[in-house]
């Protein structure tokens, strides 16, 4: 089975060495996948316009053949929602998107005000990607399970809830996460705890 091209979108402050996105990039590269894990401009003080332009540069550079997958974490999810909302180039459409631990749409964080409020248009998501899936961690301080369910319903996407997952980052002990690797390899796999 050939592996897809995978674009990883980090959140605020990037994904440090102990984060599952770094682990996933290493695992995919080890198995021969083409992985792109950009560090967006000024990850500690992000600006939506800058990140959107950089995201589109990476999408334009992605292979035009084969399956294309985007895996976003936290603020990277909001970046994807903004991209989908202003999407107008069929060449940038991808096959699958995984939105992991997005912050609530009314999240109060002074460093990310340009990302707020994020668009929540299900039709825009379908134009930007064939399928999109949402993953939320129980106990995430940035998104309650009730908010995650409402967001999934609004976006009309499937939701996987990770019991005890928190924000699904290194602080929540998500350094390696074999289930996300399985999802990348086969979109029929629901996301489960590490």
Domain range summary for the chain, segments of one domain joined by +: 5-185
**pLDDT reported for residue 187:** 74
Q: Is the distance from CB of 166 to CB of 139 less than 8 angstroms?
A: yes
Tens of pLDDT, residue by residue over 37-56, are: 999 999 999 999 999 999 99
Tens of pLDDT, residue by residue over 149-168, are: 999 999 999 999 999 999 99
Query: 1 pLDDT band (50/70/90 cuts)?
Result: low
Give phi and psi for 118, each to the nearest 5.
-80, 145
Q: Which of 66, 68, 43 is nearest to 58 (CA)?
A: 68
* Cα distance between residue 151 and residue 145, in whole Å: 10
Q: Is the distance from CB of 46 to CB of 12 less than 8 angstroms?
A: yes
More confident residue, 25 or 193: 25
Indicate the average pLDDT of the chain: 94
Percent of the chain with pLDDT over 90: 85
Q: What is the mean pLDDT of residues 181-186?
A: 92
Kindly tell me the sign of the dihedral angle through the C-alpha atoms of 33, 39, 41, 47: positive
In the β-sheet with 94-100, what is the strand arrangement from edge to edge? 35-36, 5-9, 68-73, 94-100, 129-137, 158-162
Close Cβ partners of 14 (under 8 Å, ≥ 6 residues apart): 39, 40, 43
Q: Supply the CATH classification number for the domain 5-185.
A: 3.40.50.1820
Cα→Cα distances 59→68, 75, 189, Å:
9, 18, 25
Give phi and psi for 134, each to the nearest 5.
-110, 140
């Amino acid at each position: 089975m050939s592996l897809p091209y995978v674009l990883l979108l980090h959140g605020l402050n990037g994904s440090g060495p102990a984060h599952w996105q770094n682990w996933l990039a290493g695992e995919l590269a080890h198995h021969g996948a083409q992985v792109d894990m950009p560090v967006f401009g000024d990850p500690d003080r992000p600006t939506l316009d800058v990140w959107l332009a950089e995201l589109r540069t990476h999408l334009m550079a992605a292979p035009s053949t084969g399956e294309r997958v985007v895996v976003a974490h936290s603020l990277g999810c909001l970046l994807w929602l903004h991209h989908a909302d202003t999407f107008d180039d069929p060449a940038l459409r991808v096959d699958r998107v995984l939105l992991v631990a997005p912050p609530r749409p009314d999240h109060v964080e002074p460093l990310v005000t340009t990302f707020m409020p994020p668009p929540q248009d299900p039709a825009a998501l379908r134009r930007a990607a064939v399928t999109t899936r949402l993953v939320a961690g129980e106990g995430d301080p940035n998104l309650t399970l009730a908010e995650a369910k409402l967001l999934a319903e609004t976006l009309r996407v499937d939701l996987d809830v990770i019991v005890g997952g928190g924000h699904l980052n290194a602080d929540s002990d998500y350094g390696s996460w074999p289930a996300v690797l399985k999802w990348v390899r086969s979109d029929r796999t629901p996301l489960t705890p590490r």
